[in-house]
Amino acid sequence: MMGMRLATVARNFEAATMAARRALALAPDWPVALIELALSLTRQGKNEEAMQHARKAVAQAPRDIMVIQRAAAVANIAAATDEAIQWARTGLELQPEDLQYHLILGDCLARKKEYESARPHFEEVTRAQPQNILALRGTLTCAMGVKDNAAAEAIADQLLALQPDDANAQYFHAVAHGQTPSTQPRDVVSSLFDDYASRFDMHLVRGLKYKVPERTAQILNELHPDRRFNLLDLGCGTGLLGVYLGPINGFIIGVDLSEKMIEQAARHNVYARFHNVNVLDALRDTPADHYEAITCLDVLVYVGDLTPVIPNAHRILKAGGHFIFTCEAAAEDEPDLVLRKSQRYAHKASHVERLCREAGFDDVKIEHLPALRMENDEPLPGFLVIAHKPAA
């Protein structure tokens, strides 16, 4: 086990997992080896296998403090929410003074949108540690979730006082006070999708019935029947568009803030290379007249303000190229940009079309989608834009 711990400290997670597997091979029924392997696997995003080992460890040592503590952490990372709650509650019985269990319970219950149940766990931590940032953020999430606006404002004020230069604190302070920030901080987006990466494809396609990448691949094939084009896939995620599109007679460049998403996308062997940068930075820094196509699917809901996006997309497209992107739909009687309670932005289709034409796109097609994807078992309306840059 020492080899595994040394490799983990060195952030060589593959070597750490190999060392944990060797330890388990020597002692197949040892709960410690099982749970350490499970924890190591989560660091590589192999959450399904990690949970298999965690369950075995708990079955063999159901009241072992170390096993339960690590199992709850593994389940929380893997978003196995019900088991994380179960094991964290067992942990609290064994160690009532351990605040980590309250953080796990609060996180899991908030993830299930059970804000009233989650809030006391975060508050238990803040009573003991008034400046615990994770607990304060959790309490803020719960207060906003139950529309306790006065409490949300007070907690947001406290967080900003503790971290006045922190972009996340500034963002949530603005949201709690009823403002609409122009965009989301990098850390908010990257941490969301780092946590989401290993289960992203299954959840998005099967759970949320997300068909936009498939439709976009169809559009690209119709526009380029010879499949000769170069594509910039902004916010490529786990590479779903690449999966549906397959290899082309050109190169596909993926851009994403989440390293773990990029790791998943690389496994498809379709993308030529990746850039782990902000979408806005990628657009700003890419040379002009570079791509025949740019895609940006389910990304602008986190970007917000499109004024730096659309003109730069026009600039870096070659003449005759297309910018294909999606937005969640705001109603025509709403503002041009709306920050929903989901912390995602919705855009008004007429405003987006106007921005495209002002940037120089001559043909702007909008496909209205009654169900961009499912949200809380309800269809979430959106639209897909196909904007054409005039031929030279």
| Overall pTM > 0.85 | no
Q: Judge if 119 and 153 occupy the same domain.
A: yes
- Tell me the CATH number at 99: 1.25.40.10
Confirm whether 40 is domain-assigned. yes
pLDDT in tens, the chain (392 residues): 555 565 555 566 677 777 778 877 887 888 888 888 888 888 887 888 999 999 999 999 999 999 999 999 999 888 888 999 999 999 999 999 999 999 999 989 998 889 999 999 999 999 999 999 999 999 999 999 999 999 999 999 999 999 999 888 999 999 999 898 888 777 665 555 445 445 444 444 444 457 889 899 999 999 999 999 999 999 998 888 998 899 999 999 999 988 878 888 888 889 999 999 989 999 999 999 999 999 999 999 999 999 999 999 999 999 999 999 999 999 999 999 999 888 889 999 999 999 999 999 999 999 999 888 777 678 889 999 999 999 87
Q: By C-alpha distance, which of 8, 70, 71 is closest to 44? A: 8
Is residue 332 situated within a structural domain? yes
Identify whether 279 is part of a domain: yes
Are residues 317 and 378 located together in one domain of the fold? Answer: yes
Which secondary-structure segment (H or E) carries 98? none
In a domain, 233, yes or no: yes
62-to-36, 40, 68, 96 alpha-carbon distances in Å: 15, 20, 7, 17
Domain-embedded: residue 353: yes
Whether residue 239 is found in the same domain as residue 117: no
Domain with residue 208: its CATH number is 3.40.50.150
Query: Could you say which of 112, 141, 176 is where a domain stops?
Result: 176
Residues 79 and 211 in one domain: no
Question: Has residue 16 been placed in a domain?
Answer: yes
Residue 186 within any structural domain of the chain: no
Q: Are residues 259 and 140 in the same domain?
A: no
The answer as to whether 184 is a domain residue is no
Could you tell me the residue range of the domain that residue 250 belongs to?
A: 191-388
Instruction: Count up the domains in the chain and report the number.
Output: 2
Among residues 148, 176, 204, the one where a domain terminates is 176
User: Are 171 and 59 part of one and the same domain?
Assistant: yes
DSSP per position, 196-211: HGGGHHIIIIIIS---
